[in-house]
Amino acid sequence: MRKFSLELFCRIIGIGSASGLFFQNNSLYLISDNSNVLYNYDITSKNLTKTELSQARPLENIPKAYKPDFEALTMNGNDLYLFGSGSTDKRNSAQKVNPVATSTSKIDMAELYDAMQSFGQIDKANFNIEAVVNDGADWYFFNRGNGPKGQNAIFTLSGDIFGQEFQMLHNEFKLPKINGAPASFTDAVKVKGKLYFLAAAEKSNSTYHDGEVAGTLIGCIDIDSMEIEWTQVISSKNKFEGITLYAEDAKTLTFLLCEDTDSQVEASEIYRLVLEK
């Protein structure tokens, strides 16, 4: 069992249903699965700013049938990338955002998502991208196994994924249950040669409909072997959907986590998780 501590880090007013976050230079970038906005929270000043990603309205609290469902947030070079889950045809887009220039561009992910489904033998009812990690060379796309077949998987892509010139690997994983409910990937971050992932459990077998929350675990995957080294339940009541590295020392890793409460409340609680190496 890994020793850990979990505590409330801050509460951000103005963003609800937080589904991903990325920490850099005292800025905490966040996304919400029911908005067309990239949020930037300055930890020191506690100021929240918003970058609009669409001309359509509403920008926030978008009805479920129409939301872009941004679930994954990562950085490549100087740009942030927001990825839709691909769980419906309306969720097949990504956004590339330069946070300094606040320039944005939309990317159609339908063709790439179709290739993933074909290569991994995952049908549309079981396809749900919830995490994307980029390390400058490779992209890791995490499929959340909350569909009928429970297919938790990682697609490793090398090359120009937006130009369709890339190589793809596929690995499936069996995750433990939490309080009797199967856990499934919700986010991940790379630290050196490891992928630290979150997996939440809900009493539902649908990529579209939410279920009763049973808890969240954290786990570690060795990238070379693509095998899970360990898992640790960190909550029996929270559905954590975002993780980012906040600090590291010789003995511990400190992460920030965000929670999707599946509500219309425009406030998000960010937690600090300190984990023994």
* HEC string for the chain: CCCEEEEEEEEEECCCCEEEEEEECCEEEEEECCCCEEEEEECCCCEEEEEECCCCCCCCCCCCCCCCCEEEEEEECCEEEEEECCCCHHHCEEEEEECCCCEEEEEECHHHHHHHHHHHCCCHHHCCEEEEEECCCEEEEEECCCCCCCCEEEEEEEEECCCCEEEEEEEEECCCEECCEEEEEEEEEEECCEEEEEEEEEECCCCCCCCEEEEEEEEEEECCCCEEEEEEEEECCCCEEEEEEEEECCCEEEEEEEECCCCCCCEEEEEEEEEEC
Percent of the chain with pLDDT over 90: 89
At 157, the pLDDT band (50, 70, 90 cuts) reads very high
Domain limits, the chain: 4-276
State the pLDDT at residue 207. 57
Average pLDDT over the chain, rounded to an integer: 94
pLDDT attached to residue 205 = 63
Q: For the segment 27-63, what is each residue's pLDDT rounded down to a tens digit?
A: 999 999 999 999 999 999 999 999 999 999 999 999 9
pLDDT band with cut points at 50, 70 and 90 for residue 135: very high
Does CATH number 3.40.50.720 belong to domain 4-276? no
* pTM of the complete model: 0.95
Return the pLDDT at 260. 81
